[in-house]
Amino acid sequence: MNKLKSLVTLFFLFAVLFSFAQEEIFTAEKMWQMERVGGFDVSPDGTKAVFPVTKYDIEKNSSTTDLYLLNIEEGTTRQLTFSGKEGSPVWSPDGEKIAFVSRRHDGPGQIYILNLKGGEARKLTDLPVGVFSIKWFPTGDRIAFGANILPEYEGDFDKLKKLMDEKRESKVTAKVTENTMYRFWDRWLTDGYYPRLFSVDVNSKDVTDLMPNTVNYFNMMGGVSFDISPDGREIAVSMNSTEPPYDRLNHAIFLMPTDGSGTMRNITANNEASDVSPVYSPDGNYILYGKQNIYHFYADKLEMVKYNRNNGSFTNLTSDIDLSCSNWIWSKDGRTIYFHAGHNARNAIFSIPANGGQHTKIFGEGTNGNVSIAGGRGRDLVFTHHNLNQPAEIYRIDNRGRNLTQLTRFNEERLADIKFGRIEDVTYKGADGADVQMFILYPPDFDPNKKYPLVHMIHGGPHGTFGDFWHYRWNAHLFAAPGYVVAMSNFHGSTSFGQDFAISIHGEHANKPFRDIMKATDFMIERGYIDENRMAATGGSYGGYMVSWIAGHTDRFAALVNHAGVYDLHLQFASDYAGNRGYQYGGTPWENFDILNSQNPSQFAHNFKTPMLVIHGEGDFRVPVAHGFLVYGIYKGMGLDARLVYFPDENHWILTPQNSIYWYEELHNWLERYLK
């Protein structure tokens, strides 16, 4: 009897402990303890996938990334590498080897090859510069890759190393340019480095410059979008086609032989907007790529176009579909195209016949990426999936949208210990009576009979979305955890709601989004559980622009949070790329400046009253740090409550664990000061 009583007591204690664990509040520390599953590559037979997993050490303020192997049929995983310095894995055409980029030798990232039959990984390249965007040739004897070089190296990597050493050792620190675009995001473009594609022979290790004499840019955020023809003789690459001083950028599709002759042909020269992401059909007869039509509208919808290599004709597959497509792939038989597209604050998976026709939504919940063909008969798809309640994991589904299966569970136990608040998807009437979608995230243990503070999260862009996705930098659950109701309005200008909705604020950034946010606030108050004396508005980038606009146009909020926000539109002409600012703002400092100033938060500083937390990073070239210093200085000069949090080693985003945790601490302390 005593033994039974002890077992009952023990069971009760376990139940209490489990219940307590279930009720743990989400914290920034818990978020940084989560393992991050990266993009994968599927084996040629469709049965396995290789992918990176990144883990963070908060104490060391650093990360490690290793490769894992997934058995798609069984849903089992095993770790392949253990150095913590790997990434970008790709399968060899024969399915026996994996190439990847590693820094295990403590130098710039180089290509390694791991034979899955056994043995250590073999280092393939030994260059003075790091490599990126690796891809096997279909013949299996070469690997293509990108690297940044100094054009004057003339194909001699020993000379390149000498030139690089000279630059490092020079005592002259000046950066000189006559280009319109001379820095991007958080790096300067004045040091003379340009990206090119190369190939390396798997056996001899000989490296060939595939683009000699080419001096231009690929993807400005890093990497390069290219594909190799099935016969291995041609490469299609997306590259900027404009010349210095780069008043405009126009990415086009170039074709070039893989013999290193350097001959290049622009097949989309007639389109003044961008063309991106070329992919060859399995039979090699077509190239599928993405086309935009409005060069000065970066969120212009991306249409899928099929280029016929035999006769040079073009077929637009999605011009009549109000979706912006991405990450397209061909089915194994070349008869179907699978792709992603933003749709109602989600990122869905679609299919469309390769010859055009009706598109079909396969899976539309949450945010999905990296869709790939799986299974021996190619009838299944694998993809990464995440949502507001879960970070990315790998899933499987058949090509008709059935039999959804989660394949990886790296954070399942961590999530089981956290109590998240409920999420609601609502639609309200915004500016001009338009339907506006919004997510409402409630704090844990929400009681509709009580009054709660309201926190608006205002997304950046402005052509972006606060969607059903897991966000590490602005995690909605971390905003709600202290006891706040969080509103995430996808105001006019947001993407995934059609082209007209996205472009509706082009040339007038402030008015409709501001009215949408005010109407969202009214909508929330009418629900009866919001304390209208305890409300805050928070935003980053364009969201910070809107926070400064709110500061000059209403005093209904008790507190504001402005992260990396645009304050003075004149100062945005010191941004990393100001080529289309006149179209975006409706004016410039030298032309139609009255229109520009009508949308400029800095012109309404005389109305400032609401306390503002200002956060900015020194390395932010997209929204230069002077924006933060300026609005903070004006606040203090006016004798208003303001707090400045400045990160000398971060850019537009806060990317290191301890700085991020501190960021959330400052956020919570500021909101508590005025909302509690």
Other C-beta atoms lying within 10 Å of the C-beta of residue 18: 12
Interatomic CA distance for residues 188 and 291, integer angstroms: 28
Whether CATH 3.40.50.1820 fits 420-675: yes
Query: Pairing state of beta strands 530-540 and 559-563?
Result: parallel
From the list 384, 572, 602, the residue with the least C-alpha distance to 462 is: 572
Task: Give the tokens for residue 522.
Answer: 């009214």
pLDDT of residue 34: 98
CB neighbour list of residue 106: distance below 8 Å, 6 or more residues apart: none
The C-alpha atoms of residue 194 and residue 197 are separated, in whole angstroms, by: 10
Q: Of the candidates 216, 337, 324, which has an alpha carbon nearest to the alpha carbon of residue 287?
A: 337
String of DSSP letters for 37-92: E---EE-TTSSEEEEEEEEEETTTTEEEEEEEEEETTTTEEEE---SSBEEEEEE-
How far from 250 is each of 326, 486, 579, CA to CA, in Å? 18, 39, 11
Residues in the chain: 676
Single out the residue of 427, 386, 431 nearest to residue 410, CA to CA. Answer: 386
Q: How far apart are CA 18 and CA 473, in angstroms?
A: 29
CA pair distance 613, 629, nearest whole angstrom? 12
What is the maximal distance between C-alpha atoms in the chain? 90
Q: Nearest Cα to 211, choosing from 158, 149, 162?
A: 149
Count CA atoms within 13 Å of residue 615 on its CB side: 27
Backbone angles phi, psi at 477, to 5 degrees: -65, -30
Residue 268: phi and psi, rounded to 5, are -120, 30
Residue 378 is predicted with a pLDDT of: 80
Residues of the chain with pLDDT under 70: 1-23
| Coil vs helix vs strand at 616 | strand
Residue 88 — φ and ψ, nearest 5°? 55, 55
Q: How far is CA 619 from CA 139, 543, 568, 570, 622, in A?
A: 43, 19, 18, 19, 9
In whole angstroms, what separates CA 4 from the centre of its chain? Answer: 56
Q: Looking at residue 106, what is its pLDDT? A: 85
* Structural contact between residues 292 and 299, judged by C-beta atoms closer than 8 angstroms: no
Our separate counts of H helices and E strands in the chain read 12, 39
Write down the pLDDT at residue 4. Answer: 35
What are the residue boundaries of the structural domains of the chain, listed by start? 420-675
How far is 296 from 582, CA to CA, in rounded Å?
9
Give the DSSP per-residue string, 133-168: EEEE-TTSSEEEEEEEE-GGGTT-HHHHHHHHHHHH
Pull the structure tokens for residue 220: 């400005």
